[in-house]
Structure 1
């Protein structure tokens, strides 16, 4: 017996002798080696708060909890593989640590991976824009102290939950994503395609699809005719369709869209919602979503104004961008873009020069001088030979209406009023050449102008003023604007809506240099 105890003791001693030396603290000098890493600032502050102590390599329980939290990535639309790099996934003291410096390097790699994950849980990834004119970056300054606090409590899961947005739309989109993930992971799952337009219990694919989409109690339940119509109507509302309970082509198309596509749309939306959260809560911002053809104006997390907009046609799409409304122009001119002038107006002018007078248009030379249109040989002009500028004079029939909201961008697009109001009643508001026509320009002008709104009120109270010169009014506060493209959006109640991918590019970032 004594011999066995001696052998066991010798084995323990031998194993201890073979263990590598693990550093006790990470000095500033050791940290400096990583100063070029993108998250170095957060890493350095974390170790300062942790008094330079290693956080991971000496505590296997923290490593295990981290691995468990990373498994939650898919539940919020993130890819677990992006954060569990090969080093972290296969880490072991015996294989990875040979010197004290190895232990420092390993611990910092763990910390960097943790920040990578939690920053994207909180802020998402930066969406792609055709032009970025806002210096906006979501705040991560509190994250090092939060990580330190929750590590002390050995409760990373609570940090994961705390960092996510609190908005209802985020929670609804996340729950919808997790429902779809649950459905596609069921053993007998297969995509179901509805062909029949019958709205009754004999249409089995319809019953299955409604359940898969979250509008049925179970796959076996058979609702009444009235109950089935109600479920179809709920689905139609979620797809932003006429909710009449009928299986029209648009409804069938929406129902038959694969769950895998819906999952990808929700992942993109959740990322966008996270990225927008700070600017929505901390300042004023106008968020315009192109597929939804509407905007929300936020101030400190509260929606101050909602408005429908008319955005670009598929052939002349509205570009995604970030910028700032810097001025409001009352009674604006509309300077017709060259392509519109030559492709759309020139054929009409050639038929009848009187079209210019009827449309309240002026013809200018390149120096800005107004010309007599009857002195021009219009028949000799074409797209490659058009040395003129056509400008529509101010007034109620001007294509820009009575007010224009200027924001700098290389696409020459902006928000504006319009004399043609009928398109706002349409569910599919994609009619412009790229600019955004606003249903509620007066309310937007009032908000932006603040105490300077008297200029707007005075002019509009006079009704239509013929040949009124444009008036530039400086806003009381310059308003940040984010124009984005997300096929999943929400209404004022925080209910999720799926929209058509009108431009066939869910991450659309480009636009043509047109304006109207």
Structure 2
């Protein structure tokens, strides 16, 4: 009986194989390429969150022509990366392009799952960069704001993508991600005009357009933007420009750092606590040669307990660059180097905004 069963089973498989060979002889099949998808994801956590919300279903490779149109819409948007100040190779471009070719390629189910995840990863990263700018850490030395918006940002991107179930909706979503102000449109236009002709200009415009998207995406009620390059300050309320003025920024030898921070304190008629480097290199030599200059400059000598030192008790000959156990501050008033108002910031650079007693500084180019 076992032999008969074995023979029957073997015969069955042989019959299938024989029939397949005969069928293939009458109906030859051309070689079928199978595309393998192996690519590390840029943000696997965001991709996992996307599919958790989508109940682990495919998004880009559903049956029907709508999915192929959606895939092509993603590819087309990535193709236009340069106009956003972005680089298409950062968004799995080779794989996205491969799966947007004419539908004559057979994909295994497991490959479809992998490909769908790669498309989602590409879409999340591209949309995030269009929304909040790319490579911001390359241009900003310190950022105390972005981390507080991280969860909100990814939730916004995931929700928008999940609602972009066809090509039209996806294109509308990408459009909504971008700022609507005139400055942004001008930057887009300048980039388009510079492509292929001015690579140096493209580099500067790339930084500008990404920083513009980064600043705008926070949707802050009130904020100040200091443009170090143009030495200008702009104050906005709900994205409406309310004030524009000149500012004085650091010299090339003492550049103003680039950072994002909060204004946590406003002081009227502030003291100026003179930086130690200025005290030792500039003020101390002056005080030693001209002791009366301490008063004429409206300065105060402060001991380690925060008390004002009587100038008559100081023997300036005892002090030098290596020994001066005091701090120096300038008294409040219109002659103070900080002027009559100071804005303290939460940056790590001990940088703040302030008025000045040297109004002529605003006349210099």
Q: TM-score range by the shorter chain?
A: 0.7 to 0.9
Residue 364 in 1 paired to residue 307 in 2?
A: no
**Alignment match of 2:203 (pick from 264, 268, 274):** 264
Contact 1:43 1:112 in 2 (8 A): no
**Alignment match of 2:88 (pick from 77, 80, 104):** 80
Show structure 1 runs of 5+ residues with no match.
1-5, 21-33, 185-258, 428-516
Q: Secondary structure at the match of 1:315?
A: helix
Aligned match of 1:162:
176
Residue 398 in 1 paired to residue 341 in 2?
A: no
Aligned match of 1:485:
none
**Alignment match of 1:290 (pick from 219, 223, 228):** 228
Aligned match of 2:287:
349
Deviations 1:139-192 (A, max 9, x none): 35343444344442556444433322211111101101111115x2xxxxxxxx
Instruction: For residue 302 of structure 1, report the CA deviation from its aligned partner.
Output: 0.9
Contact 2:58 2:116 in 1 (8 A): no
**Alignment match of 1:423 (pick from 351, 361, 364):** 361
**Alignment match of 2:74 (pick from 36, 56, 66):** 66
Instruction: For residue 136 of structure 1, report the CA deviation from its aligned partner.
Output: 4.0
TM-score by length of 1: 0.57
**Alignment match of 1:375 (pick from 288, 313, 316):** 313
- The structure-2 alpha-carbon separation of the partners of 1:389 and 1:278, relative to structure 1 and needing over 3 Å to count, comes to same
Residue 176 in 1 paired to residue 207 in 2?
A: no
| CA distance in 1: counterparts of 2:245 and 2:149, whole angstroms | 24
Q: How does 1:455-466 map to 2 (within 5 A)?
A: none
Residue 127 in 1 paired to residue 136 in 2?
A: yes
- The structure-2 alpha-carbon separation of the partners of 1:408 and 1:119, relative to structure 1 and needing over 3 Å to count, comes to closer
| CA distance in 2: counterparts of 1:96 and 1:379, whole angstroms | 89
- The structure-2 alpha-carbon separation of the partners of 1:345 and 1:35, relative to structure 1 and needing over 3 Å to count, comes to closer
Contact 1:57 1:106 in 2 (8 A): no
Aligned-pair RMSD on alpha carbons? 3.2
Deviations 1:413-462 (A, max 9, x none): 211121111111223xxxxxxxxxxxxxxxxxxxxxxxxxxxxxxxxxxx
Residue 106 in 1 paired to residue 106 in 2?
A: no
**Alignment match of 2:265 (pick from 314, 327, 332):** 327
Deviations 1:99-121 (A, max 9, x none): x3332122111111111112211
Contact 2:73 2:167 in 1 (8 A): no
Q: Secondary structure at the match of 2:189?
A: helix
| CA distance in 2: counterparts of 1:424 and 1:398, whole angstroms | 17
**Alignment match of 2:44 (pick from 37, 54, 57):** 37
Aligned match of 2:155:
141
**Alignment match of 2:57 (pick from 52, 63, 68):** 52
Show structure 2 runs of 5+ residues with no match.
1-22, 35-40
Aligned match of 1:386:
324
Aligned match of 1:413:
351
Name whichever structure is richer in helix by fraction. 2
Aligned match of 1:237:
none
- The structure-2 alpha-carbon separation of the partners of 1:289 and 1:306, relative to structure 1 and needing over 3 Å to count, comes to same
Q: Which has the higher contact order (CA 8 A, sep 6+)?
A: 1
TM-score by length of 2: 0.79
Aligned match of 2:126:
117
- The structure-2 alpha-carbon separation of the partners of 1:107 and 1:303, relative to structure 1 and needing over 3 Å to count, comes to same
Q: Secondary structure at the match of 1:371?
A: coil
Specify the structure having the higher radius of gyration (Cα).
2
Instruction: For residue 81 of structure 1, report the CA deviation from its aligned partner.
Output: 1.2
| CA distance in 2: counterparts of 1:36 and 1:325, whole angstroms | 32
- The structure-2 alpha-carbon separation of the partners of 1:179 and 1:313, relative to structure 1 and needing over 3 Å to count, comes to same
Q: Secondary structure at the match of 1:410?
A: coil
Number of equivalent positions: 329
Deviations 1:47-97 (A, max 9, x none): 34xx82442375444433332221111122111111134433444899884
Contact 2:248 2:361 in 1 (8 A): yes
Deviations 1:230-253 (A, max 9, x none): xxxxxxxxxxxxxxxxxxxxxxxx
Contact 2:134 2:210 in 1 (8 A): yes
Deviations 1:113-136 (A, max 9, x none): 111112211221252333332234
| CA distance in 2: counterparts of 1:150 and 1:136, whole angstroms | 23
Q: Secondary structure at the match of 1:261?
A: helix
Instruction: For residue 275 of structure 1, report the CA deviation from its aligned partner.
Output: 0.8
- The structure-2 alpha-carbon separation of the partners of 1:304 and 1:35, relative to structure 1 and needing over 3 Å to count, comes to closer
Deviations 1:18-46 (A, max 9, x none): 798xxxxxxxxxxxxx9971423662366
Contact 1:339 1:383 in 2 (8 A): no
Deviations 1:233-286 (A, max 9, x none): xxxxxxxxxxxxxxxxxxxxxxxxxx221111001111111111123x442111
